[in-house]
Chains A and B, each alone.
Chain A
Amino acid sequence: QVQLQESGPGLVKPSETLSLTCAVSGYSISNGYFWGWIRQPPGKGLEWIGSIYRIGSTYYNPSLKSRVTISVDTSSNQFSLKLSSVTAADTAVYYCARSRPNDLTGYPDYWGQGTLVTVSS
């Protein structure tokens, strides 16, 4: 059974960098699929942040591209999100997810439970 678990600080100060890690169990990241991040501001809808396919192929939401970095650590079977220069608008529940690939895109089939990150001083 594939399982994903997010971890990282629940509180980040404005202008700093938000960093989250997703630990994957039950499946090797090296074996394929897209691995990515999706967020949901409180009371609002889902927003795709970005995805990575193995190492080196990253795809980011155009609206966040200048601030986002997604990377993979195959040795620990984890992948990570960094979002720089955060503001209160980045306060959200952040989900990591595995996506079934369709050419260069995909759709999530396994999700982490989500972690709330609040941006506040």
Chain B
Amino acid sequence: DIQMTQSPSTLSASVGDRVTITCRASQSISDWLAWYQQKPGKAPKLLIYKSSSLEGGVPSRFSGSGSGTEFTLTISSLQPDDFGTYYCQQYDSYSVNIFGQGTKLEIK
């Protein structure tokens, strides 16, 4: 069963900062990884798929990288609207936990 672990669990950063969130898989998932942003009271929004492919309409300040077991989501220059909780999701195979536990991003 593949386990997904995100770090950090919470993150506080200032507007303009470069922010990186890490997601690790317990075994190789190739590049079958997606990233989501969730605002309070809203459904998650797809940002990145296949590790580094940007979903249409998502600002180019978001980028993803990685393969195998280690992946990162980077926001190149943090904007006020980027607050929320970020989740990674593996889609290599079905398991009990296909999502990471989430990273809550707060704007200082």
Contacts and interface: CB of A to CB of B under 8 A. Distances in A.
A88 B12 CA distance: 33
Contacts of A112: 43
Given A48-B98, A107-B46, A109-B55, A102 B91 contact: yes
Interface string A103-121: 0111111011110000000
B44 A105 contact: no
A100 interface: yes
Contacts of B45: 111
Chain A interface size band reads 20 to 34
Contacts of B43: 95, 97, 111-114
Contacts, number: 56
Interface in B56-108: 87, 89, 91-102
Classify chain B's interface size.
Answer: 20 to 34
A55 interface: no
Given A45-B99, A45-B101, A106 B55 contact: no
Contact of B99 (A47, A63, A97): A47
Interface string A45-59: 111100000000001
Main secondary structure on A side of the interface with B: strand
Interface in A59-97: 59, 61-63, 95, 97
Q: Which of B34, B43, B98, B101 has the most CB of A within 10 A?
A: B43
Contacts of A106: 91
Given A46-B44, A48-B98, 8 more contacts: A45-B100, A45-B102, A46-B89, A62-B1, A97-B43, A107-B34, A108-B46, A113-B43
29 contacts: A45-B87, A45-B99, A45-B101, A46-B44, A46-B99, A46-B102, A48-B98, A48-B99, A61-B94, A62-B1, A62-B94, A62-B95, A62-B96, A95-B44, A102-B32, A104-B94, A105-B32, A105-B92, A105-B93, A105-B94, A106-B91, A107-B34, A107-B46, A108-B36, A108-B44, A111-B43, A111-B44, A113-B43, A114-B43
Interface of A: 45-48, 59, 61-63, 95, 97, 100, 102, 104-109, 111-114
